[in-house]
Amino acid sequence: MSGDNVSNTDDLRVQLAKLESLIAKEKSKALSRGNEINGEDASVDDVATNDDSDTDEEEDFRNEQWILSGIVVKIVTKKLGDKFYKQKGCVHNE
């Protein structure tokens, strides 16, 4: 019975080694793809931060576009004080 446990343990170690090898290969592939994207040595984190800058600009553009003259808005922040919190108001031109 103890012989079965030893062989199971050995099998698990072999499987673990295979999985670790696969993980290392996938990491190296991801890093090389990151280098191909920028055309220079770069990490995956660098590539991710470059993509975030584009979405920040798009988000800023969208946030500015919703403010139109004549729409009714509700104040949902307490930063403007209790007087205005949860109050509705109309947007006017400056």
What is the domain partition of the chain in residue ranges?
A: 2-66
For the whole model, what pTM was predicted? 0.32
In the chain, DSSP assigns E strands to 72-74, 88-90
**Looking up tokens 């062989």, which residue turns up?**
7
What's the helix, strand, coil split of the chain in %, to 5? 65, 5, 30
Instruction: Give the mean pLDDT of 16-25.
Output: 86
With a pLDDT cut of 90, the percent of the chain lying above it is 9
- The tokens describing 4, both together, are 């079965």
**Burial class (CB within 10 angstroms; exposed 0-12, middle 13-18, buried 19+) of 37:** middle
